[in-house]
Structure 1
Amino acid sequence: MADGARTYHVSIVGEASYQRAIEACREGERVMLFAEIGNPYDADAVVVKCSRNATIGYLGRDNWLRDALLHEGQGCSTTIGTLKRGDDQPFLAP
């Protein structure tokens, strides 16, 4: 991590539908976040895809990062900081 870089923990939603893909993920793995054009449930959906291009979840509708990405009109990459198993959601840390 670069000097002075900040870490933000961002949980994802919808992960119950993507458990197989999440099981293959590892802490420190790069992921991409970007607007998912044509999502039938949310016109402003921001999908989270792992390095194997598999969906592992979405940013929640009330997530500050989702708003920032949609406002800027571009995606970003980050890393998985902590994978919590069970009922807890995975976290992303840039």
Structure 2
Amino acid sequence: MLDDDVDFLRVVGVSHYQDAVSRCSPGEAVRFVHEPDNPHDATALRVVSLLGETIGYAPRNSWVHHMIHQSGRGVSAVVHSVGYSRSCLLGVLLSMAVCDDEIERASYYPGRPAPEPPPGGFRYWISTPGDVERRVAGRK
């Protein structure tokens, strides 16, 4: 994806957030929140609506993860559409562009402060190829 391109991303995990998704509308800005202590994925990117409600997550292996975690870029996003899937669940499609906004960090666990990053900037969560291999092996 180039900096001035607009791309689309389908939000995952929406089945857990149907009430919040039902309150979203096309054109509404959303933000990404990195949850480094998420027990399922240390690089998890939660999608949060203007009302401050979680509406789902960015897919684990999406280009958004590369832009944020490896390239140190931000992403600007709005709700492109909200609609029903074949399983009769509401889903969200985002319209997105790469920018230089800061990505917010928060704890996965309510009431806990966001974990402090180790020194090293944007790439602190995945620091070496060995670290990546350990994380991948841990998911299997």
- Shorter chain as denominator, the TM-score bin is 0.7 to 0.9
CA RMSD of the aligned region, Å? 1.8
Q: Does 1:50 align with 2:49?
A: yes
- The answer as to whether partners of 2:81 and 2:94 remain within 8 angstroms in 1 is yes
Distance 1:73 1:55 in 2: 23
**Structure with more contact order per residue of length (Cα contacts < 8 Å, sep ≥ 6):** 1
SS of the equivalent of 1:83 reads: strand
Distance 1:18 1:55, change over 3 A: same
Paired residue for 2:92, among 80, 90, 93? 90
Match of 2:38 in 1: 39
Q: CA deviation at 1:10?
A: 0.4
SS of the equivalent of 1:9 reads: strand
Match of 2:106 in 1: none
Distance 1:50 1:14 in 2: 14
- Higher CA-based Rg: 2
Identity of aligned residues (%): 29
- The answer as to whether partners of 1:34 and 1:75 remain within 8 angstroms in 2 is no
Q: Any gaps of 5 or more consecutive residues in structure 1?
A: none
- The answer as to whether partners of 1:8 and 1:93 remain within 8 angstroms in 2 is yes
TM-score between the two structures when normalised by the length of structure 1: 0.83
Q: Does 1:80 align with 2:46?
A: no
Q: Does 1:68 align with 2:67?
A: yes
